[in-house]
């Protein structure tokens, strides 16, 4: 019996995420080509990201029926069980018999027919339980962090550190935000053509809503923007609103020489190139040649020319003989501000990696600071909400380089205010030390941090 296209795609994406360490968004983008019906694409995306978000809760409920850990199952069997239970518990419009039957068929297609009876029996037992709150299944002796971790499907160690830092109410708000589908945010290349482009996208069958933070941002639903002519011609790009805000903090002026030190995939580089203009220069660097090639293709689509691509390791001494008026260090990080958009991160990240990332980020920021022209501006940013990767990095580098100092919040907030939607106060995005913050629970956007530094003239 055939399995629906949506479930087939979701199963394969989940397999690659688990077996190959791939990112779900990248594999979905490759799998959801033009031949896939929009309804199938939507369901495949919902199933893939839903299973990844709720994996811990799903596994907890399944293990109660299995009487053994999920890790002892073959991967195809575990994935079929997760897909089936996710549909039973979270997708009310799908008949239980379809969820169970197609999960069984997925196991058979994966050449694990010997496990078909197990999948069928476990899911059938879970049909009735799916109508009851998961909290009823938790043991009374469980710790608060474990309880929240299971019910909101996050690792206990992440819950513990957020409880310690923010308390119960804020932690729950973050956990809930990470399990909601984030808006599909896009950026306009030319804000003057806003209404024209919105009308065109509407004509393509897409639903358009204005951005919540930036005047140049908007959200789309009802289909893939990558299929729209406006995307193919470079008039719009897909990018979270918080991510769009980061290059604005540099306040690049026409004619500036700009260094984007960790540029791939290039979403933050494009507005820097446009702001620097024909008489400016942007150097976009990355340590991986294949990512530079992908950026070159991206810049061709966007019609960007005055940008130079350089392969280098940003944690090592930099090879440039000149200083730059503007430098962006959008550093590699844990990505804890993007757990709604990239839910697989929560299952891959370990506490020791925050220490390792901190060392790398400090090295990158120190290298970048050595290239900053007197009176110039350097923005250090991450999509993390962890202090080890954010405030602690900036503080350590400032302590070691006396000529560096923070840019006052009044200066960076003025640059940002020019781009915010009416009614928003730019000052609300900055802390007492002038550092920029967004968070999923407060801004309906990814969690980003940025510290702005300058060098004495």
Which of 110-119, 305-314, 394-403 has the highest average model confidence (pLDDT)? 394-403
CATH 3.30.70.1170 matches 184-238: yes
Give me 190's structure tokens.
Answer: 């030319």
- For residue 4, the tally of other CB atoms under 10 A from its CB is 15
Top CATH class, 5-137:
mainly alpha
Task: Report the sign of the C-alpha dihedral through residues 427, 431, 433, 435, in that order.
Answer: negative
pLDDT in tens, 250-262: 999 999 999 999 9
**How large is the average pLDDT for residues 322-350?**
97
pLDDT > 80? residue 454: yes
186 labelled catalytic: no
> How far apart are alpha carbons 317 and 315 in whole angstroms?
7
Whether 243 and 384 have beta carbons less than 8 Å apart is answered as no
According to DSSP H, which parts of 381-437 are helical? 391-400, 409-417
Share of the chain above pLDDT 70, in %: 100
Q: What pLDDT score was predicted for residue 303?
A: 84
Q: Which is the catalytic residue, given 186, 262, 333, 383? A: 383
- 53-104 pLDDT, tens per residue? 999 999 999 999 998 899 999 999 999 999 999 999 999 889 999 999 999 9
Predicted confidence at residue 1, as pLDDT, reads 56
Strand, coil or helix: 121: helix
Taking each helix axis from N to C terminus, what angle separates 38-53 and 75-90, rounded to the nearest 10 degrees? 100
> Would you place residue 2 in the very low, low, confident or very high pLDDT band (cuts 50, 70, 90)?
confident
Sequence spans of domains, the chain: 5-137, 184-238, 241-455
Please tell me the pTM assigned to this model.
0.94
* Fold for the domain defined by 241-455: Rossmann fold (3.40.50)
Helix, strand, or coil (residue 304): coil
Instruction: Give the mean model confidence (pLDDT) for residues 374-402.
Output: 97
Q: What does the alpha-carbon distance between residue 380 and residue 388 come to, in Å, rounded to a whole number?
A: 13
pLDDT for 136-177, tens place per residue?
999 999 999 999 999 999 999 999 999 999 999 999 999 999
- The answer to whether the CB of 220 falls within 8 A of the CB of 206 is yes
Mean pLDDT of 388-410: 96
């Amino acid at each position: 019996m055939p399995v629906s296209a949506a479930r087939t795609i979701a199963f394969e994406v989940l397999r690659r995420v688990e077996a190959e360490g791939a990112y779900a968004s990248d594999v979905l983008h490759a799998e959801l080509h033009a031949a896939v019906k929009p309804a199938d694409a939507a369901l495949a995306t919902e199933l893939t990201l839903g299973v990844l978000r709720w994996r811990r809760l799903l596994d907890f409920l399944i293990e109660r029926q299995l009487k053994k850990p999920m890790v002892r199952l073959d991967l195809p069997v575990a994935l079929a069980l997760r897909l089936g239970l996710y549909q039973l518990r979270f997708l009310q419009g799908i008949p239980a018999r379809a969820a169970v039957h197609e999960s069984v068929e997925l196991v058979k297609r994966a050449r694990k027919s010997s496990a078909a009876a197990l999948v069928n029996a476990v899911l059938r037992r879970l049909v009735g339980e799916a109508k009851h709150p998961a909290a009823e299944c938790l043991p009374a002796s469980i710790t608060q962090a474990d309880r929240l971790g299971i019910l909101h499907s996050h690792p206990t160690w992440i819950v513990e550190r957020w409880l310690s830092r923010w308390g119960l109410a804020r932690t729950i708000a973050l956990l809930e935000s990470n399990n909601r589908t984030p808006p599909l945010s896009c950026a306009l290349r030319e804000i003057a053509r806003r209404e024209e482009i919105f009308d065109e996208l509407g004509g393509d069958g897409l639903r358009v809503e204005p951005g919540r933070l930036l005047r140049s941002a908007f959200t789309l639903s009802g289909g893939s923007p990558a299929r729209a002519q406006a995307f193919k011609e470079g008039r719009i790009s897909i990018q979270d609103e918080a991510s769009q805000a980061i290059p604005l903090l540099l306040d690049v002026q026409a004619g500036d020489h700009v260094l984007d030190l960790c540029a791939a995939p290039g979403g933050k580089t494009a507005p820097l190139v446009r702001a620097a203009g024909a008489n400016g220069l942007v150097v976009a660097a990355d340590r991986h040649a294949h990512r530079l090639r992908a950026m070159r293709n991206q810049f061709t689509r966007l019609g960007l020319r005055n940008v130079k691509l350089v392969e280098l390791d940003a944690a090592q001494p930099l090879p440039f003989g000149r200083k730059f008026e503007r430098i962006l260090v959008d550093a590699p990080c844990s990505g804890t501000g993007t757990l709604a958009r990239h839910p697989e991160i929560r299952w891959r990240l370990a506490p020791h990696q925050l220490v390792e990332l901190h060392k790398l980020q400090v090295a990158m920021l120190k290298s970048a600071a050595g290239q900053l022209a007197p009176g110039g501006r350097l923005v250090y940013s991450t999509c993390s909400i962890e202090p080890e990767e954010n405030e602690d990095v900036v503080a350590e580098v400032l302590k070691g380089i006396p000529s560096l100092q923070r840019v006052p919040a009044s200066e960076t907030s003025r640059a940002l205010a020019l781009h915010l939607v009416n009614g928003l106060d730019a000052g609300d995005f900055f802390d007492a030390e002038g550092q920029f913050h967004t968070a999923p629970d407060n801004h309906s956007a990814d969690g980003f941090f940025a510290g702005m530094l300058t060098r004495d003239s």
